[in-house]
Structure 1
């Protein structure tokens, strides 16, 4: 709780102060804020506020239910605070701090940045070490959503075999869908994709970030059919260009 209050105080102070692979050819590459992306994907980043705006942010925070996620965007150090436990990544190791041992039932090494990746779409798809490939459009209720497959060069991140497929509105360039694989446990490539629909967005100081996402069931062709469950909602988004102290991301000393 002390870490959450510290973050809020800093942000308030700042506010008061102010599938088929197709090679991406050279003629289809665009320069966006001194970064090079496929032309259409560059337009998606611009629609959501721009890579330059994103890379100026130091701290990103959001709530998922009772969880308060705080991330240093430059180092990807993370803290998740809840009423019963905290977990985080201090840049070297993942830690877990529980009021009562055994309270947290998940895999902290897998979970600490899971929802950050979903929340920070589409900007995390502009990280270093990424390979872009044009893919066939996703079709839902008769509408075609163009897309790109994102894969990673070897030894990039914890799960370099993960793949993402981003699909966007062909007229507005707003992100609409995400397919992704999970290879954290198996450490092997997978063709089994999960599908998320990005239902609602919110303007957070110039960045268009999700406020609601929904996992979808899929048919035998891998196309979305209907929601699997109720939407996951993100609330209380905060961004700051002021860094937090290194100690914020360390395991609390009891």
Structure 2
């Protein structure tokens, strides 16, 4: 009799567990439909900390348009860039350089000869310098550790930047971002120039970033100092670029401003 009662109790317990399991099915998440924040997982930890010290890479990616004015002896230079497709416009006193997504073009406002750098080399040069460190989150980049920079008794850890073949106009270019070990703010940029040779260079040029301003929640350069160099080290100040009238917007810019005027010539 006791045996029969035990069987009945076990049967009732089984039925109860089965009912409970039916009421509480296992929840399965379909990650194909989920929006995941993986931004900080695809960069080296120290680079992520540099981005964060400047406002964060997620904040940077919310913006679509950047404009800045650079003071020059022969007149101010205004650079406008679509941050998503990298179309560009540089307005100078007598000339305009543009990139419409396919071609670089040059337009002269008078009969004066353009004596600046090759427009295909220059159209995004200062934008790349100005958009540091965020520009180093672009696709096609290979990250690595670099030898620290020693300058005036202080040590700056380095992050090496190289590119997969075919990325950009000069995929042989290499950069080294040096940061302040206490604040993680970017302090120096070492870089090679390969546009004119298409060959890897071992000679580092240097620009210093130690004057920042807050714009739209981001730290962007107020000035960038170019240094002379020797033996892959900065030596003395060469010149300084000053920036003003900074505008950064989450609104997509009017694409018409990048279209080549009829009077402009495509740069080959």
Runs of 4+ in 1 over 4 A off after TM superposition: none
Deviations 1:114-136 (A, max 9, x none): 00000000011110000011011
2:241 paired with 1:232: yes
- Give the unaligned 5+ runs of structure 2: 1-36, 264-268
Q: Give the secondary-structure state (helix, strand or coil) at the position aligned to 2:194.
A: coil
Distance 2:133 2:111 in 1: 36
Residue-by-residue CA offset, 1:95-114 (whole Å, 9 max, x unaligned):
11101245321311111000
- Determine the C-alpha separation between the residues in 1 that align with 2:262 and 2:256: 11
Following superposition, the deviation at residue 203 of structure 1 comes to 0.4
Alignment size in residue pairs: 222
Match of 2:187 in 1: 176
Distance change (3 Å), C-alpha of 1:32 and 1:104: farther
Matched, 1:46 2:52: yes
Is residue 64 of structure 2 the alignment partner of residue 58 of structure 1? yes
TM-score w.r.t. structure 1 length? 0.84
Aligned to 2:39: 33
Structure-1 separation of matches of 2:260 and 2:125:
19
1:217 to 211, 225, 228: 228
Among 107, 113, 127, the alignment partner of 1:116 is 127
In the alignment, what sits opposite 2:82? 72
Distance 2:230 2:192 in 1: 17
- Please give the root-mean-square deviation of Cα atoms over the aligned residues, in Å: 1.4
The answer to whether the 8 A contact 1:32-1:42 is kept is no
Determine the structure 1 residue equivalent to 2:254: 245
> Which residue, 204, 217, 220 being the options, matches 1:193?
204
TM-score by length of 2: 0.80
Matched, 1:104 2:114: yes
Q: 1:34 to 1:41 in 2, by over 3 A?
A: closer
Tell me, in whole angstroms, the C-alpha distance in 2 between the residues paired with 1:152 and 1:83. Answer: 35
Q: Is 1:84–1:103's contact at 8 Å kept on the other side of the alignment?
A: no
1:160 to 160, 167, 171: 171
